[in-house]
């Protein structure tokens, strides 16, 4: 069983993906971390984020098990990740790794931007998780402040909107809802309510 979860930044897709994987005893891959890991490596080497040859080389040596979320979740790495994510050759390399992860038993939950459209077009269930930009910015600001990062609501909102535009308008694998994905708008839902809504959709789909 494969569950594909896509959506914009800070919509809650990662939180849902982790809980759903736990609930159905599936593996979980946060595919955003793969783009973040490549961006972080380029930044650390002082290389331009548009250097596709080096980005591909980094991706070829990427070990999914060694990606450190606590380091990679930094706000500026998210911005850099969306810049490398426009590179088609890099995407091919990362999608290869993501597909191999999804193929392993007993199945997986993957979250990202193009899971339902490109990585797992035949997923058992597809969710497109969204929320109003203001709700997402509020969540991300609280998350960053909770980790002691310096964050203002206004600048986080501006950054998220800019990233949404870049992710939705790029020519390769743009962020978009797959035709057969279920829309889950979590603007007015807390985490528990969103999780229950997702489980309802998944169970209904599995029951046919
Ligand atoms: N429905 C929700 N209501 C309130 N906060 C939420 C909700 N879903 C997620 N969060 C919080 O918002 C932040 C971003 O969630 P996350 O799952 O990391 O989003 P994404 O993976 O889409 O970027 C986290 O701090 C998370 O705990
Ligand atoms: N499947 C994916 C996952 C992430 N990405 C890119 O990677 C960036 C960071 O993704 P993320 O999921 O870690 O970001 P958040 O939604 O957690 O803020 C996104 O803005 C996208 O540009 C992508 O292009 N395709």
Q: What is the pLDDT of residues 64-96, one digit of tens each?
A: 999 999 999 998 999 999 999 999 999 999 999
Task: Quick: pLDDT tens for 134-180.
Answer: 999 999 999 999 999 889 999 999 999 999 999 999 999 999 999 99
Task: Quick: pLDDT tens for 98-129.
Answer: 999 999 999 999 999 999 999 999 999 999 99
pLDDT at 109: 98
ipTM above 0.85, yes or no: yes
Mutate to test the pocket of ligand 1, among 11, 15, 115, 189 (most ligand atoms within 8 A of CB): 15
Contacts 24+ apart (CB under 8 A), 50-56: 50/83, 50/84, 50/87, 52/87, 52/89, 52/90, 55/84, 55/87, 55/89, 55/90, 56/89, 56/90, 56/93
Confidence band, pLDDT 50/70/90 cuts, at residue 43: very high
Ligand 1 and 12: CB distance under 6 A: yes
pLDDT at 22: 98
List C-alpha distances in Å: 163 to 61, 78, 103, 176: 26, 9, 30, 14
Q: What is the mean pLDDT of the chain?
A: 97
Ligand 1 centroid to Cα of residue 165, in Å, is 20
What percentage of the chain exceeds 90 in pLDDT? 98
**130 pairs with which residues across the strands?**
185
Contacts of 25 (CB under 8 A, 6+ apart): 106
Ligand 1 and 84: CB distance under 6 A: no
Ligand 1 and 15: CB distance under 6 A: yes
Ligand 1 centroid to Cα of residue 182, in Å, is 18
pLDDT at 201: 98
pLDDT at 116: 98
Ligand 1 and 190: CB distance under 6 A: yes
List domains and CATH numbers for the chain.
Answer: 2-207 (3.40.50.300)
């Amino acid at each position: 069983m494969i569950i594909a979860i896509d959506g914009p930044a800070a919509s809650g897709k990662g939180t849902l993906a982790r809980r759903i994987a736990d609930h159905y005893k599936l593996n979980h891959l946060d595919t955003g971390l793969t783009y973040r890991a490549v961006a972080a490596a380029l930044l650390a080497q002082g290389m331009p984020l548009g250097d596709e040859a080096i980005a591909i080389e980094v991706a070829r040596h990427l070990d999914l098990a060694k990606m450190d979320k606590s380091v990679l979740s930094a706000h500026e790495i998210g911005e850099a990740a969306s810049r490398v994510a426009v590179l088609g050759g890099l995407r091919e390399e990362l999608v290869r790794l993501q597909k191999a992860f999804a193929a392993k038993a007993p199945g997986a939950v993957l979250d990202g931007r193009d899971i339902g459209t490109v990585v797992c077009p035949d997923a058992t269930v597809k969710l497109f998780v969204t929320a109003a930009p203001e709700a997402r910015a509020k969540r991300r600001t609280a998350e960053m402040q909770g980790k002691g990062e310096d964050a203002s609501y206004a600048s986080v909102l501006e950054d998220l909107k800019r990233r949404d535009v870049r992710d939705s308008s790029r020519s390769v694998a743009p962020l978009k809802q797959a035709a057969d994905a279920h829309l889950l708008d979590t603007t007015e839902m807390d985490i528990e309510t969103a999780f229950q809504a997702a489980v309802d959709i998944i169970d209904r789909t599995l029951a046919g």
